């Protein structure tokens, strides 16, 4: 168990401590999400390894790439897998500003992601409790830690503003 904890360079897995430790990384995620532009939903994801290095990053590219799989989480996963030449991420952390959808939640389970931290909840499509919690589903062979709500208000504000612009065309 001690080894498991040291892997993340962390000894306290309470939500409070995890949020304190990764708040600045989530700020980076927010800034990247803000820079996505007008066509894409402002979502960004980062993968941090056990040494605290960012090894994968992605922003939503569904419209730009005309790709139904172009979600920020999947793009970050592909980049990190290429860099590490490995598909397993037990010792890594994913940060994303919106709760991953069911597709991305499934992919994160497949990738054996150690910890997932997200900002805003997605009550309609969220795959980690918003609509269904795949991390707790009996089919999930891998138990990951999921923490939602870090910089939640900021992320909600960003997403609301984007939808408002979309509706009003401004
Ligand atoms: Zn997704």
* Distance separating alpha carbons of residues 49 and 44, to the nearest angstrom: 17
63-73 pLDDT per residue, tens: 999 999 999 99
Q: Per-residue pLDDT for 165 more than 80? A: yes
The one catalytic residue in 34, 38, 40, 73 is 73
Quick check: is 99 catalytic? Answer: no
121-132 pLDDT per residue, tens: 999 999 999 999
Spacing, Cα 74 to ligand 1 middle (Å): 7
Task: At 92, list the tokens.
Answer: 């890594």
Spacing, Cα 3 to ligand 1 middle (Å): 31
> How does DSSP classify residue 170?
-
Spacing, Cα 95 to ligand 1 middle (Å): 13
């Amino acid at each position: 168990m001690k080894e498991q904890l040291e892997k993340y360079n962390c000894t306290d897995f309470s939500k409070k401590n995890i949020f304190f430790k990764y708040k600045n990384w989530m700020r980076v995620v927010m800034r990247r999400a803000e820079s996505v532009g007008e066509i894409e939903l402002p979502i960004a994801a980062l993968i941090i390894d056990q040494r605290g290095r960012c090894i994968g990053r992605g922003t939503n590219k569904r419209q730009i790439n005309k790709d139904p799989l172009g979600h920020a989480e999947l793009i970050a996963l592909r980049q990190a897998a290429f860099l590490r030449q490995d598909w397993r991420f037990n010792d890594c952390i994913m940060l994303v500003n919106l709760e991953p959808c069911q597709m991305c939640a499934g992919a994160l389970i497949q990738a054996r992601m150690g910890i997932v931290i997200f900002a805003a909840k997605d009550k309609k499509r969220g795959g980690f409790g918003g609509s269904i919690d795949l991390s707790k589903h009996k089919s999930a062979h891998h138990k990951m830690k999921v923490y939602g709500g870090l910089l939640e208000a900021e992320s909600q504000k960003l997403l609301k503003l984007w939808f408002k612009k979309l509706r009003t065309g401004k």
